[in-house]
Amino acid sequence: MPSVLLLRSSRHLGGIERQLLDHARRMQRAGWQVTLCCLMRGEEEHPLAAAARVCGLMAFTVADPGPLNLAVLRELRALIREVRPDLLHSLDYRTDVAAWLVARGMPRLVESHGHTRESRGMALWNLLDLRAMRRAEVVVAVSTAWETRLAAGGVPPHRIHVIGNSRAILPSEPAPSPRPLLSPGPHLLYAARLSPEKGIDLLLAAWPRLRSLYPEAHLWVLGEGVPRGKVARMLDQMRDDQIHRLGYQPDIRPWLHACDVVVAPSRQEAWGMTVFEALCAGKPVVTTRVGGLPELCRPAPHAHLVRPESAVALAEGVRCVLDPEFPRGPKLGRAFCNRPRFAPAHRHRQFLALYDLAVDRSAKSAP
């Protein structure tokens, strides 16, 4: 029976975790021995591990106080010795680096969903992650744009394969009721981290222009992170009671279904989770021509792309999609979401083929 150890470090049961759980369940049904190991800040059980065990999967939570903890590496090494997997599959910078450090010589597949640029510490992690990827048998990039970035970072191009996300990232439970938004609007939704690469400062710079066009406009800001630097100063100066900061929300659908347009002003985006969820809901989206977004949005008539780093272009894009004639609606969303490229089964089969490739490459390189 082939076996795989899946490694994920995060704090929530979000889109990547839901997709990983779907993949694990498909492997289990196909006869694989599947083990999940989740690194988690704090002492509580990771919600992905809890969901996996409900599905009959073997799952563990390892407390990870960070930044690079020797106790975590020892616990991961012990788990590998106990489980004896044929392959390690990691999904983020922390588990990529940990697997590289504790499992030299074992076949590894790295699934890369992009890098953040939030701090100097993250810049160092990104460099370590690239080093770990250079030594992996197979690296999966979530878009062709991210494939190019990884190759430029020194990852051997012949080891990089592009597999996008699937609709398994979407919540499977029934959607909550839309958030009641009492003013006439329009209502704009930003749902992303408050970090520089997501471009929240560009949206705030465009806000005065949008308020002049739409005096009753409201901006709903959903996302992790404490505003710092330029963003903090802009929010402090604006003090606008029509900008609503709600922090991280485990389910954005109440706001997504209530808003008029989703704005994603990214400077860097490997794929675009929020954009995908909005397009699947049939919501108009204004986003930038960066990274994997043009590739993702190409078949979506309800997506409007603008040049990056321009508050003027962003405001004009919002004005464009708020036109009553701009495409929108659930029918468009279903047509986009049900495209074959987003089928979870298709993605699963692609990964199984790459598992075989990773094991084969490892065997050929062994002394």
Class of residue 66 by CB neighbours under 10 A (exposed 0-12, middle 13-18, buried 19+): exposed
* Placement of tokens 């008539």 in the chain: 301
Class of residue 163 by CB neighbours under 10 A (exposed 0-12, middle 13-18, buried 19+): middle
Dihedral over alpha carbons 201, 293, 177, 218 (to 10 degrees): 30
The pTM score is: 0.94
Per-residue pLDDT of the chain (367 residues; tens, 9 = 90+): 799 999 999 989 999 999 999 999 999 999 999 999 999 988 889 999 999 999 999 999 999 987 788 999 999 999 999 999 999 999 999 999 999 999 988 999 999 999 886 678 888 999 999 999 999 999 999 999 999 999 999 999 999 999 999 999 999 888 888 888 878 899 999 999 888 889 999 999 999 999 999 999 999 999 887 667 777 777 777 777 899 988 889 899 999 999 999 999 999 999 999 999 999 999 999 999 999 999 999 999 999 999 999 999 999 999 999 999 999 999 999 999 999 999 999 999 999 999 999 999 998 887 6
Q: Rounded distance, CA 173 to CA 39, Å?
A: 25
Q: Three-state SS string across the chain, please?
A: CCEEEEEEECCCCCHHHHHHHHHHHHHHHCCCEEEEEEEECCCCCCHHHHHHHHCCCEEEEEECCCCCCHHHHHHHHHHHHHHCCCEEEECCHHHHHHHHHHCCCCCEEEEECCCCCCCHHHHHHHHHHHHHHHCCCEEEECCHHHHHHHHHCCCCHHHEEECCCCHHHCCCCCCCCCCCCCCCCCEEEEECCCCHHHCHHHHHHHHHHHHHHCCCCEEEEECCCCCCHHHHHHHHHHCCCCEEEEECCCCCHHHHCCCCEEEECCCCCCCCHHHHHHHHCCCCEEEECCCCHHHHHCCCCCEEEECCCCHHHHHHHHHHHCCCCCCCCHHHHHHHHCCHHHCHHHHHHHHHHHHHHHHHHHHHHCC
Domains of the chain and CATH, by start: 3-166+343-365 (3.40.50.2000), 187-340 (3.40.50.2000)
